[in-house]
């Protein structure tokens, strides 16, 4: 038997998803190299997380009419045939192809040559969805949506799921409907809808149920210590009371000590009294008056509350003088300009006359 824990189980087998991305890339390249060139894909596979799932991500579905915007056939209108989920790409009709050589053992039915043209999948980013607009006079017009937005959703009976409305961006009243998917035929495993929706379970008693009494032990190992996820776990009031230890009452001596410490804490003053302020002030004044160093004395004098800096005073005086001068000059200028204007006016008047 080739099946074993190493190959079959997720836990012990070599899981690619558990390796870091650079080692995973190496394995993928090895796998790629081991294949014959015909089966090597042009675009590498996308990680499971990054694969498109919703129709909003794909933006197109098989059966859509699209316009190619890239490559040799850019500008042509074709149809989407299928989605390639591994590479986030779609197969379209009349796309670019790759020539591959296929060994005879892999020939498809009806194939006559070793060389076939294999279509290259396109990224949905390089496609523009084409919709038809019906004018008022009944004529139809085709439009290619540059950008799409998805707003609102509805239940699609053919897709059997909620589908978003595909609208043209900036013209959101134009809705490009999704193509109808090919109807799926029932296989051997299919169950009819009526049978699936039929209800046969009616819980009507908390004493009996239709399952056997030892069902749970047969489904789950009874020795497992881990709490079962369905078990409802909550503490009642009495449980809390039982589980919380009672606090011991304090002894009398401890209470008395606590009271004494509180009295001491209250008796300590928070602000100094006037006597202490005076005492400290006297001591500091006596020290400052006895300073002999002239620089230090000058510095201390400069910190006195009523002190005025002589340099600043001189500067202030100078500024006052300067300002006075400026004011005088300005007035003088005013008078001169007035007088000049007066005489100029007279002269011009005389000239004109």
Residues that bind other proteins (CB under 8 A): 1-3, 7, 184-190, 196-212, 215-216, 219-220, 228, 230-232
Residues 6+ apart with CB under 8 A from 122: 68, 70, 71, 89, 90, 91, 92, 95
- Shortest approach of other proteins to residue 208 CB, angstroms? 6
- Shortest approach of other proteins to residue 83 CB, angstroms? 16
- 190 or 329: whose CB is closer to other proteins? 190
- 211 or 350: whose CB is closer to other proteins? 211
- Shortest approach of other proteins to residue 158 CB, angstroms? 14
- Shortest approach of other proteins to residue 96 CB, angstroms? 26
- 200 or 293: whose CB is closer to other proteins? 200
Residues 6+ apart with CB under 8 A from 58: 52, 83, 90, 124
The helix or strand, by DSSP H or E, that contains position 8, with its residue range, turns out to be helix 5-8
Distance of CA 238 to the CA centre of its chain: 46
Distance of CA 267 to the CA centre of its chain: 59
β-bridge mates for residue 168, sequence order: 148, 171
**Lookup: tokens for 186:** 């029932």
β-bridge mates for residue 89, sequence order: 84
**Lookup: tokens for 200:** 């046969």
The helix or strand, by DSSP H or E, that contains position 65, with its residue range, turns out to be strand 65-68
- 201 or 343: whose CB is closer to other proteins? 201
Three-state DSSP at 249 gives coil
- Shortest approach of other proteins to residue 71 CB, angstroms? 30
- 115 or 206: whose CB is closer to other proteins? 206
């Amino acid at each position: 038997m080739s099946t074993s824990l190493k190959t079959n189980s997720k836990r012990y087998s070599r899981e690619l998803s558990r390796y870091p991305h650079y080692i995973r890339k190496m394995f993928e390249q090895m796998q790629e190299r081991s294949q014959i060139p015909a089966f090597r894909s042009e675009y590498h596979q996308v990680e499971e997380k990054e694969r498109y799932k919703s129709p909003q991500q794909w933006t197109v579905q098989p059966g859509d009419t699209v316009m190619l915007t890239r490559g040799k056939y850019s500008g042509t209108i074709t149809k989407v045939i299928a989605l390639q989920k591994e590479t986030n790409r779609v197969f379209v009709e009349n796309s670019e192809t790759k020539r591959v050589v296929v060994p005879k053992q892999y020939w498809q039915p009806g194939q006559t040559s070793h060389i076939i043209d294999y279509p290259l999948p396109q990224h949905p980013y390089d496609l523009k969805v084409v919709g038809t607009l019906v004018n008022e006079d009944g004529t139809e017009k085709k439009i290619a949506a540059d950008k799409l937005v998805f707003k609102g959703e509805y239940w699609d009976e053919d897709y059997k799921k909620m589908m978003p409305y595909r609208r043209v961006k900036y013209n959101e009243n134009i809705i490009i409907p999704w193509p109808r998917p090919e109807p799926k035929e029932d296989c051997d495993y299919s169950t009819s809808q009526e049978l699936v929706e039929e209800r046969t379970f009616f819980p009507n008693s908390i004493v009996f149920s239709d399952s056997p009494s030892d069902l749970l032990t047969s489904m789950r190992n009874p020795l497992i210590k881990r709490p079962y996820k369905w078990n409802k776990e909550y503490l009642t009031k009495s449980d809390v009371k039982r589980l919380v230890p009672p606090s011991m009452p304090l002894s009398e001596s401890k209470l008395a000590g606590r009271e004494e410490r509180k009295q001491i804490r209250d008796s300590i003053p928070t602000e100094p009294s006037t006597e202490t302020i005076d005492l400290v002030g006297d001591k500091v004044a006596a020290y400052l008056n006895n300073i002999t160093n002239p620089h230090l004395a000058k510095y201390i004098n400069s910190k006195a509350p009523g002190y005025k800096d002589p340099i600043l005073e001189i500067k202030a005086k100078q500024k006052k003088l300067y300002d006075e001068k400026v004011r005088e000059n300005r007035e003088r200028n005013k008078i001169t300009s007035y007088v000049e204007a007066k005489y100029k006016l007279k002269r011009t008047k005389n000239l004109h006359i």
